[in-house]
Amino acid sequence: MQKHYFSNFLIDIFLTNLSFIDDKQNVERFSAMMKFTYSKANIEVNATRLENPPRMENLVYNLTIYSNDKKLNPDLLKKNIEKFGTIYNTVKLSCSISGTINTIENV
């Protein structure tokens, strides 16, 4: 029982780190490349953890970007993250990843 709790704890840490890294690094990097500005970005990551053998499947993310910039193209940003994102490409070798990018205008 304790081992199961510990492994779930590690999964939570992994998902938290994944969301922080993708949120901060990819959005910041691609905003410079794609020449758009944003005030903040939030990401929510969920995954299914299977027991036997222990692994993660079906990682799903929802990235929300707060911006008034009309140059922000969410579809192109998603394509760039999926093609060039280091963490994204490392994780996709071991489980499926899908997600959405939403924009919210700052008023």
CA dist list (Å): 54 to 1, 9, 29: 15, 14, 33
Q: Check residues 21 and 1 and name the one with the higher pLDDT.
A: 21
What are the phi and psi torsion angles at 87 (to 5°)?
-65, -45
pLDDT at 13: 67
Q: How many helices (H) and strands (E) does the chain have?
A: 4, 3
pLDDT greater at residue 19 or residue 3: 19
Classify 78 as helix, strand or coil.
helix
Topology of 9-104 in CATH?
A: GMP Synthetase; Chain A, domain 3 (3.30.300)
Q: Which amino acid is at 47?
A: A
What is residue 103's predicted lDDT score, i.e. its pLDDT? Answer: 95
Report pLDDT for 23: 58
Give pLDDT, residue 73: 95
Q: What is the mean pLDDT of residues 56-63?
A: 86
Contact 65, 104 (CB under 8 A): yes
